[in-house]
Structure 1
């Protein structure tokens, strides 16, 4: 069993990119299920996901985890975005929420 060398949050698109480099015949059951899941639910390709994640962190002051959550969901309305940010237990200004939506809309 391999030892975990590094742990960091990554988007579904990035997981998909990693798994697509593997031989599907050699994947274990969990890897196949994960690949099926990310293939169905990743909203962007890995390059675009990384770009959006970087912009969200730089322009909106989001943490890596928060940016990944937004990239995975890609909310399209303010109400939808508020539903996710509510759970972060920190105040996100309306101006920042609008900026997040503009970044998403500019990359979807």
Structure 2
């Protein structure tokens, strides 16, 4: 099976807390204390998830005094959306052809 960056991003987003953080960051830039308040998760847990999201290229950090604000990188989600759209288009084309591999 060929893995892509987009598939790795989907795996990162499969975690419910990370998905919630991404949803919150889609609406506004937030610091860790806001995310702790909104999610009810512990600060260390939120920080660990933010590290994973940053490493995956989904969020970026912006220092502001003694706080760090995080914002969503829409271009990373756009790449995943294009990849999923391409998969759907391929599946539609194959269904129309009735293509399938014979069993041996």
| TM-score normalised according to structure 2 size | 0.29
Task: Specify which structure has the higher proportion of helix.
Answer: 1
Q: Which has the larger radius of gyration?
A: 2
